[in-house]
Chains A and B, each alone.
Chain A
């Protein structure tokens, strides 16, 4: 069964460093998302991406964050200068769109755990 894959599974970084989290969405999907979950808290929406541009973003997704689809398969989240409060699990997700049998159902990866020290 197709799945969303994320790398790395866990990354430790020093405060102020840049981090790139990588995702390979399900291959025929058109819409891509990043969510995060701080330990013990809710899953929070960060950004959605379609047709090579951001469709929607939350208040969390400030200028420190950026997303990119550098090629036909990868989708990345970059945090420019990490802060302690960026420590969280980051989930990538994708959905196919109404033309697919799965419709707009969103499927999630297993997450990348980011620890900022």
Chain B
């Protein structure tokens, strides 16, 4: 079973920042937080991951609380193409081929 809790759905106005929360209160010290998204039954798309420091790439920023029990994915300027289901997943770091375990994710709707 997924070790994370996410809201079922969220709305965001186009051009505004989308902040997607995730709780992972039982995360272990050797587990990363990964974010993926799935646009309309396409393959899950990797967004970003982090261990304890905040991370930023061309797609998003990841803010992880100091106690590592929760995190927030930030899409700085959401567009209609960001409408998707977003998955927050914890996974052991550098463990070879430990699979990702998907939950139900958050359905983000970006509204014009």
Report Cα–Cα, A89/B101, bound state, in Å. 16
Report Cα–Cα, A56/B99, bound state, in Å. 8
User: Once the chains bind, are B101 and A109 in contact (CB under 8 Å)?
Assistant: no
User: Once the chains bind, are A105 and B97 in contact (CB under 8 Å)?
Assistant: no
Decide yes or no whether B29 CB sits under 8 A from chain A. no
The smallest beta-carbon distance between A9 and chain B, in angstroms, is 11
Q: Which of A4, A45, A98, A107 contacts B99 (CB 8 A)?
A: A45
Q: Which residues of B contact A108 (CB under 8 A)?
A: 43-46
Decide yes or no whether B38 CB sits under 8 A from chain A. yes
Chain B 30-49 interface mask (CB, 8 Å, partner A; 1/0): 00001000100111111001
Report Cα–Cα, A90/B46, bound state, in Å. 17
User: Once the chains bind, are A48 and B99 in contact (CB under 8 Å)?
Assistant: yes
Q: Which of B34, B42, B93, B97 contacts A55 (CB 8 A)?
A: B97
Q: Which residues of A contact B46 (CB under 8 A)?
A: 105-108
Residues of B in contact (CB 8 Å), total: 23
* Given A42-B103, A43-B38, A105-B49, A50-B43 contact (CB < 8 Å): no
* Given A104-B94, A104-B95, A45-B100 contact (CB < 8 Å): yes
Report Cα–Cα, A113/B87, bound state, in Å. 21
User: Once the chains bind, are A37 and B96 in contact (CB under 8 Å)?
Assistant: no
Of listed A93, A95, A104, residue having the most chain B CB within 10 A: A104
Q: Which residues of B contact A56 (CB under 8 A)?
A: 97-99
Report Cα–Cα, A49/B96, bound state, in Å. 11
A contacts, CB < 8 Å to B: 4, 31, 33, 35, 37, 42-45, 48-50, 55-56, 89, 91, 93, 95, 97-98, 103-111
Q: List 11 A-B contacts (CB under 8 A).
A: A31-B97, A42-B103, A43-B44, A49-B97, A50-B96, A93-B43, A104-B94, A105-B46, A106-B46, A108-B44, A110-B42
B contacts, CB < 8 Å to A: 34, 38, 41-46, 49, 87, 91, 93-104
